Structure 1
Amino acid sequence: MRWFSLFCAIFSTASSVDVRAARTRRGAAGCAGVQMEMVFLADGSSSVSQVSFDLMKKWIADFVDKFDVSQTATRVSVVQFTDNVSDRNGFGFPLSGQAARVKSDLANLRYMTGNTHAGNALRYVKNNVLSRARKSASKVLIVLTDGVSQDEIEKAASDLIGDKVLVFSVGIGNSVDANELEKIAGLPEYVFKTANYNALTGITDTLYNKLCSSLKSDNCISSVKQDLSFIVDSSSSITISDYQKLKTWMKSIIEKLEIGDNASRVSILQFSGQSARPQGRWINPVLTFDRSTSKEAVIGAIDGMKKLNGDTCIGEALDYFYRNMFTSQAGQRSDVEQRVIVMTDGKRNCPAEIAKPAELIRAQEAEIYAIGIGHQCGYGENHNCYDRQELHEIASKPADKYVFEINNFDQLILKRIGILGDVCQEAECPDIFADIVFVVDSSGSIGPKRFDYMKNWVKSIAASFKVGENFARFSVVQYTKTAKTVVDFQTLGCKNRRYLL
């Protein structure tokens, strides 16, 4: 059944709405409209067995059925790996948008047998399969394995993530290595484990929903009016390769925004520092709001950033930002949403405090995200680690929304998805698939004024949804001693939500 929601001013079992009218999901609404290249990297090693391989084939086929397979939407490939890798000769197939062909090729997939070389397989997918991806398409890789790789996987996985491939790893049985699965996927929330091949069906909906929600965030183009700021660490502890990943991460967010006076504007401050010289080349205002006139201007400013080296003067950077960049003179707008993203891989080692300037920024109704990369400092540890307390001093509340602690810069690239959920806001009518019922008290104790308040609240909730047969539908039930349906489930366009109550 589809998600069924019940919003009640006061809940009553006397509802006259027929909930049996709630609908079941049809089609691939969760990933509707997303252009995607979806690759399955399937373990064909000798530990799998023919019976288990057939179960894996069936699961892949059932999972693919949830998507719109076509040349303009989702294209599918299966790559099988042992110590060899193949997407040909019946052991796999290259990217295809022909639904009937995909179904036939899956049914006829042959089992290879051999050893488990996942690293080689990941490189093959990057260089031989996803190299043929459509430029406008999202890239998704689902890795299924029941063992531990016999070759190195970390760099191969990192290279895929650096190419903005969304990777999910599925470990089957008791012989998998949880750390290896996370290295492949990049984030623990992209790792799935099952007891055996029969249990694969138990992860289908969760994996589907995670995949679609991640792609939805990653494919939004936001025209919301906001001022978005990056305050990023450029100290000596960051390597050149990680610094490039930092820039890739920033650009991946900018690419999802419309930039201009009537949309988003951007400011960028990079910092390192030296306690004796907290300004000058140690704090570099890369871009101010008034100079972020186009997406090309912002991307160009990021491309032109040079690594600074030095200490980690977070407090000085926040203070400089507040006094010199978070001002109307620098183009900051008082009538739009304010979001600030602060990234560091280190603990403060300069004199200025963090809490006060962060508080001043938040007092301007700015949301601050704080990202710590690497590992939390242990007792007496002061170098090459971040301080969790400092992240909490910087960030808005609640911490579970605004504080990110991640292991490496590959995960930073992936975490753009979580941040984009806020930075790239949902449209006015989000395309959630739901039947929503309001059960409204209409007794004499309510009074006309409070009833109007309740009506307006119902309308405000409805106004945030996209309404239609494949989206949200509404019903309203009023009750006193008896109940009556005022609005029954029906297909209403967004413009017709005014008929609710």
Structure 2
Amino acid sequence: MIGGIQFVILLVTTAIFSVVENAVYHCRNGQETTQSSDGTAKSSGCSLRNDYFIFAEKNINLNIRSYNNNNNNNNNNDPGKEIAFVLDGSGSIDPPDFELAKRFIADVMTTVWSKCFNCKFAVVQYGDYVKTELSLKENDNRAKALTKVAGIKQITKVTITASAINHVLEHIFVKEDGSNDNSKKYIIMITDGRIYRDNMTLTEVLQNPKMKDITRFAIGVGPDVLNHIVALEEMRSIASDPDEKHFFKADDYKALPAILDSLQMSITGLDDPGKEIAFVLDGSGSIDPPDFELAKQFIADVMTTVWSTCFNCKFAVVQYGYYVKTELSLKENDNITKALTKVAGIKQITKFTITASAINHVLEHVFVKEDGSNENSKKCIIVITDGRIFMDAMNLTEVLQNPKIENITRFVIGVGPEVLTHTIALKEMREIASDPDDEHFFKLEEYSALETIVRHLQLAVTGIDDNNAHQQSFPSLPPHQ
């Protein structure tokens, strides 16, 4: 059963990498990473989101290129895109900053993969010598690819940037390394300073005929780039024209997240605001505790199944009984394990069935900017209940006529005889569900049958029919404490 799906976490560095979706880095103490008017990313004490290696330990195959979906990036006739990171590992970079650079690479990879199913990555590091750390051939198992990035050891010493770029031309974008002649190609350079002790010249490398049609981005980090005339000139030479679209400047390595969205858009051409899904969970007294646990397990199963095909989906859970409570907010999706643990720990409220108030709570307190909502994202509400509204101060029709509910897709799951055989309850369910009912209203005889609709709901939410999703290895809902 899908309830047996398991999420696995791999600790890859001293910090845990906390996917999908939407803001890639979050800052401590309410500080934010921003991009100034001159294009320079600035940061003050931000901590990095570290969740992108979470799938690695059990060899989970995230070969999204094999998914059968309607994304135009997954067209069999599309030769795809190949992106080569050229990572400065010279001695001028402090080890913690080198770790931040690796995490940034992983964030770009996962963010691009969420929108471009036919994109492949390579990573070349340089210092005293040049080394291919990840080849284009090593993208089929994306968990392993991320693990390889996590395991990169800094080379140190000199800064042979020209030789590293040349290495991409001679050893990465070649058929033997899995390159397709017809694919669009990108080079992304990340460095903290000017070239030093390189046997090759930058000009001769950039004039190599093999460089034709390759789009190049340069990311210059820190004062040795931003305040050095020669280094700035090198960055502008590396970056494709125009500079304002291809040359990114960051005050320090902690500021890299500020440029991620711009870089992703430059590569994919897609600005995807993602999807937000709010579960409205009936926790009233008519539901037996074991059935309430099954409802929680179902929510976790839907979350993991949707996440397997939609990296840019976020979830919230609102429970209702004699009051309404946000159990999981949209802001709490960065660490998938913690999100699932929060679902596991939900305590049943009991007593009344104030369904209308709970749906209104989603409109007023969940799908709002303060809770991490993006006004441009696609939004879904999924109500799970075992009966009609009881003792609710709000009127269902009034809530459903709220202008804020416009463009929100609503699913309702009615469970048990109090729904299936009760005229008023059925009327309420049909009123809640978006039209047509046969696509948005699920009727089940008991809570144990919830597992049978996980895949149907996943397809309805994501629009992606992933026949391999049930074969992936994800963690089960943590045990209720």
TM-score, length basis structure 1:
0.40
TM-score, length basis structure 2:
0.41
Structure number with the bigger relative contact order (C-alpha 8 A, sep ≥ 6) is 2
**Larger Cα Rg: Structure 1 or Structure 2?**
1
